[in-house]
Amino acid sequence: MSTTNWKLWEVFLRSKNGLSHKHVGSLHAPDSNMAIKNARDVYTRRSEGISIWVVPSEEITASSPDEKEALFTPSDDKVYRHPTFYDIPDDVQHM
């Protein structure tokens, strides 16, 4: 049967204009057009979206959980990047 190699596609939906597309799941399809059609049937049966993106899963490069520390901890000790780091008297308004 020739379906064994149907690509896996990741599906992203925009629920309404003004919001970003959000990952909702994946599906198999022979090409991008069919992936959109399948995504419409599988992921938008109840008006969940007004726009669909499909991306071949193999085209996504993900960071590794092992690199988590190296990638993300450097920002943990930079508290001065947050507004709450600064002591401003309550009398000062609109700040």
Partner 1 sequence: MGTNVSLEDKFQSYVDAEKKVEPKNWMPEKYRRTLIRQISQHAHSEIIGMQPEANWITRAPSLRAKLILLAKVQDEAGHGLYLYSSAETLGEPRDKMIADLQSGKAKYSSIFNYPTPSWADMGTIGWLVDGAAIQNQVMLTRTSYGPYARAMVKICKEESFHQRQGYEVVMKLTQGTPEQIEMAQESLNRWWWPSLMMFGPSDDNSPNSEQSMLWKIKRKSNDTLRQEFVDKTVPQAEYLGLTIPDKDLVWNESRGHYDFGDINWDEFYQVVKGNGPCNKERIAHHVKAHEDGAWVREAANAFAEKQAKRKNKEASAA
33 forms part of the interface with partner 1 (CB under 8 A): yes
79 forms part of the interface with partner 1 (CB under 8 A): no
60 forms part of the interface with partner 1 (CB under 8 A): no
Shortest Cβ 94–partner 1 spacing (Å)? 39
Residue recorded with tokens 């064994």: 4
| DSSP label of 72 | H
Residue from 14, 15, 21, 28 that binds partner 1 (CB under 8 A)?
Answer: 28
Q: Which candidate, 26, 21, 50, places its Cα nearest to that of 39?
A: 26
3-state DSSP assignment of residue 58: helix
Residue from 60, 62, 79, 92 that binds partner 1 (CB under 8 A)?
Answer: 62
Between 42 and 70, whose beta carbon lies closer to partner 1? Answer: 42
Q: Which residues pair with 29 in a beta bridge?
A: 7
Helix (H) or strand (E) holding 56: strand 51-56
3 forms part of the interface with partner 1 (CB under 8 A): yes
